[in-house]
A and B are shown apart, each in its own frame.
Chain A
Amino acid sequence: MAELSVDVVAADRAVWSGTARSVTAPAHDGSLGILVGHTPLLALLGAGAVIIRPASGPELEISVTGGFLSVDSDQVTVVADEATLVTA
Chain B
Amino acid sequence: MAGSQRVYRQRIRSTQSLKKIFRAMELIAASRIGKARAKVTAATPYTEMLTRAVSAAATHGATEHPLLSERTDTNRVAVLLVTADRGMAGSYSAAVIREAETLIERLESEGKEVDLYVTGRRAVSYYSFRNRELAGQWTSQSDAPDVETANDIADRLLAAFLAPAEEGGVGELHVVYTRFVNMVTQKPRIVRLLPLEVVEGVEAPGKNEALPLYEFEPSAEAVLDALLPRYVRRRIYTALLQSAASELAARQRAMHTATDNAEDLIRNYTRLANQARQAEITQEISEIVSGADALAAS
> A residues touching B (Cβ–Cβ < 8 Å)?
7, 9-14, 27-29, 32, 39-44, 68, 70, 72-73, 77, 79, 81
What B residues does A81 contact at CB under 8 A?
A: 230
Give, as a whole number of angstroms, the nearest-CB distance from B68 to chain A. 17
Q: Are A9 and B46 in contact (CB under 8 A)?
A: yes
Give, as a whole number of angstroms, the nearest-CB distance from A31 to chain B. 12
> B residues touching A (Cβ–Cβ < 8 Å)?
39, 42-43, 45-46, 49-50, 52-53, 56-57, 147, 212-218, 222-223, 226-227, 230, 237
Q: Are A41 and B53 in contact (CB under 8 A)?
A: no
Q: Are A42 and B43 in contact (CB under 8 A)?
A: no
What A residues does B50 contact at CB under 8 A?
A: 79
Determine chain A's interface SS by DSSP, over half rule.
Answer: strand
Q: Are B53 and A14 in contact (CB under 8 A)?
A: no
Known: A7-B45, A42-B216. A68 touches B227 (CB 8 A): yes
Q: In whole angstroms, how far apart are the Cα atoms of A79 and B56 in the complex?
A: 15
Q: Are B56 and A42 in contact (CB under 8 A)?
A: yes
Determine chain B's interface SS by DSSP, over half rule.
Answer: helix
Give, as a whole number of angstroms, the nearest-CB distance from B202 to chain A. 15
Q: Are B43 and A12 in contact (CB under 8 A)?
A: yes
Give, as a whole number of angstroms, the nearest-CB distance from B117 to chain A. 22
Q: Are B43 and A68 in contact (CB under 8 A)?
A: no
Q: Are B45 and A40 in contact (CB under 8 A)?
A: no
Q: Are B53 and A12 in contact (CB under 8 A)?
A: no
Q: In whole angstroms, how far apart are the Cα atoms of A81 and B50 in the complex?
A: 11
Q: In whole angstroms, how far apart are the Cα atoms of A70 and B213 in the complex?
A: 12
What A residues does B214 contact at CB under 8 A?
A: 40-42, 70, 72
Q: Are B212 and A44 in contact (CB under 8 A)?
A: no
